[in-house]
Structure formats: structure tokens, C-alpha cells
Structure 1
Amino acid sequence: MPTASLLSLAGQSVVIDCGLGVTRGLADQGFALKDLSAIVITHLHSDHYLELGALIHTAWTAGLKAPVTVWGPAGLVRYWRGFLDAMADDLAYRIHEEGRPDLAGLVTIQPLQVGQTVQMGPISMTVGQSIHPPLTETFALRFEGAGKTVVFSGDTAHNPALADFARGADLLVHEAMLAEGLEPLLARIGNGDGRLMAHWLRGHTLAHDAAAVAKAAGAKALALNHLIPSDDPDFGPEVWARCLAPHWSGALHIGTDGLKIPL
């Protein structure tokens, strides 16, 4: 399923991105939806926030009654307002007939800026810049707590500056694509043209470049996510591992649904 991660660090849980399937994915990890409290959206492409409203609403129907803060691009304010408007009939029913708290009053949208540091209970989140044109509000994230550091690249073109941002990370979660898998993917999708290929090439990172960033950062482990392609049997985990072997000798995780990485 598209991009979503759950970071559990120092007793704090943070959901990073809410692509399609995030609600089921969290439940499958044994996460109690009513304990949802912190969400970060790295940028406004559908595979990163399509299910944000549905996740929060489902958590609410599952018992959520404590505040939830959502950090991300400023456009999330418009998205959340639109979601509440679209669900107004259901929300009014559940508040009046079921006695639930007002969902609008539980959720706070907090726009992020590059260079900002946010304290989330026992962990801190520092916001970096990713390169994902034509969008400009696209974020890399560095989380620190309990003596551990986890960095998410967000969607990004090859960004050597990310090595400094991720310096010494226990885990770098970096997007990646395989060059040889792009033409078959474009043909299989079938409703895009050369502009889709151009977007991939200018807005995403080839796997060996992701490895180079991890190596330059001195990261202890590298996890590849947002795989392009992600579901082509001709480009399975063994192909990704073979591609990375000349460039990365540390701990390597190839993203799959439900993958759990202990720190």
C-alpha cells in the first residue's frame, strides 16, 4: 500500500504520512486507533495524505477523545476543512445520537517550516527540506529521543545535503527507485505519458544514490520505502538488494507492507 509509517520511540507514537491503507496498517500492527495523537504529513501528494481524514474519523469512532495534532504543509488546513464539510451529516449524527465529542475540536493542524524543531512529548522532530518539484513544501524529518535518531527522507530527488541532516542516524528511511523498472511501470500504468517519467526522474532518488546518502551520513541502517516500482514481480526484494550491494554494506531493509524494524 502507499506510503505510511509508524514511529514508536521513547513511548511516543507518531504516524508519518497517511496514504491509502494507513488505518488497516496501524490496526495490523496492534496500534489502538483511539491512542492516535501525532501525525506528520511530508507533502501534499495523494499517496501521502489521501487517508488522513478517514484515519482520524475511524479513530474517533473507535473511541478517540484526546487531542490529535497534525503537522505538515499549510494546505492541510484546507484539506481538513473540506473533509469536515464532506462528512458533516455523519459527524452531526454521531455527536447528537451517540454522544461523541466534536471531532473538529479534537484536531489541530500545525503548518511546518524548514528548520523548525517540534517537541512531541519525549521526542523532538526537526524539519528539513526535501526536493520534490513542482512542490516546495516538501519535508524531510529527523526524530530524536531515548538516545535514538530516525530520519525520513520524504519524497525527494537525490539530495546530498540530506547526509548532513541525517548525520549519525540509527535508521535512515529513504525513498528509492530502480532505473530498469521505470519503463515497464510506465507501460503498465497506461494512463500517463512522458511527463510522468520526467516527474520520476526529477523528483525521486535512484536506489544507489539513496545508499550514497546513507553512507555519507554514517547511518547505522538504511530502509528503502516508497519503492518505484513497488509491486512488479520482476523487481522483487532480491533485485533491490542486488542493486544496493555494491553501494551499501550496512543493515538494509527493503520496504514491504507491515515491515517492523526494531531500533
Structure 2
Amino acid sequence: MIDDDLFEELGVTGFGSPKLKLRTEVLRDLRAGPLANDDDLTCAIVLTRLVRSELEAFGTGGGEQLVDAELEVLQRTLRAVLQRVGIDLSLPWRNFTGFKSYWLQNDGYGSYQVRRNLIADILDPVQDELDRREESQFRAVLADAVSPHVGTGWPRVDEEVTELKRRFRSASTPQDYRDVGNRCVAVLEALSRTAYDAGRHLREGETEPPVDKTKLRLGRYVEDSLAGKDNEEVRAVANKVIELAHRVKHSTAPTRRDAGISADAVILLANILRRVDQEF
């Protein structure tokens, strides 16, 4: 599940921004039980983030997308999903009107920060626990690098790796597994954008390859970062991983094993290339 799954676009407003309507039927189905091809943990993360953003918008100058009745449905669904994953949530308000009454009773009059703090006091522990569980699941289903660091330290790459892990966790059909291949390619392209520097890696007379030419760009990165013949093996690893990711992306009937092997390989390649960037 992503945020867009929860809204239907009904045209544009007078300011040119999308006019959105909450898909209450999706929330009704989710409240009754897990959705097909989506796990409750991912749904809980998305719903918690949306509830928080709506409350913060309402409490700090406006811009919320929902009305009272919609927020009430959203919060009821969030509580139901959290209960299924073993997390309790008690909200001292039912809707925006109730939230306003709550902040007026708790020194929130005239202070946006107090209102944000009131939200944080209730939702921060929930989001922290959801983050912990998500990270635990990531570690259980896909490979970790030998490095003790949580990520590569390359923000774009780490964001794409997180999305890859999230997509693999909820995948259950050949179409889902093919999309895991798409996510693998997205990681490779993030590596291509990050690691390749035309100022360092482009030879005289060459034209800079586009980002999606990952073999060329990552191969040059390895070639220039490692001295000696040993770079040939590392470059060969990169090429094979790139080929594997594209094979899963274009496969007509990929399996969970295919998708998992490709995802593991891409994640480890990201960490290998980050290590290439180190002096020792």
C-alpha cells in the first residue's frame, strides 16, 4: 500500500492542485481484514503517517485533505490494523473537532508547537514500534551487508533499498515479483546517479552515458576506484547483478525465489560499491 491507494482523484482545484477523495471502501475492507497483496504492517505505517499529517495540517494552519467523518473512518481503520499487529492505540479525539477541543484543554491555544507535541506524545511510540518491526522484517527476508552500518550512507540509494525491501515483503504474485525487479533496477539507477561522476569518470572525447546505462557507469566507477586487475572481478559482479535484475524485471512468470535472489544481489552490490569508495 502507498498513500495514493487511499485517494481517488476527482480533477483539480482552482489552484491547480489535485482534488482528492478518500477511498472509504478501501478503508472498510482493510478494517475487516488484511488486503490482498498488502501486509498489515505496511498498511499500518501508511495509515499512521496519513493520520499524523492530517492532524498536524489541521492544527498548524490548515491544508488537511479530509473532513471530520473521513478522519473518523481513517482513525478507526488505523486502530483495527494496529490491533491485528499487536499494537494498541488510544486516541483522545474522534475527529478534527474533537482534536481541537483536546488541544484547547491542554494549553494548545495559540501554539502550533504544543499541538504538534500533543500528536507526537501519542503517535511517536506507535511509529517507533512500527519502524522497529519493519526493520526486523527487512533483516529477516533479505540479505544484510557485513558492515555494521544500517545503510550505505548514500541517501538516494538507501531510500531505494528501503522501498525494494518493503515491496519484496508484500509481494505474492508473479506481477508483484516482476515489480520487485523494477525496484531492483531503481536501486541500480540510484547507484548510477550517485557513484558516477562525469568530472572524474568521463574520458576525453566520450559522451556521458545516461543514468539507465548502469553497466557503463558503474563499470567505470569500479575501474577508476580500484587499481590493478582485481577490478575486473568486481566489475564482473556488477554486470551479472545488473543482468539478473533486468531478467526478473522482464520475466513473464518470476517466482519469489527469483525476486529474492535479485533483491539480495542488488542490496549486496550497493554495499560492495560503497566499500569500493573507501580508501582502505
Structure-1-length-normalised TM-score: 0.30
Structure whose CA Rg is larger = 2
More helix by share: 2
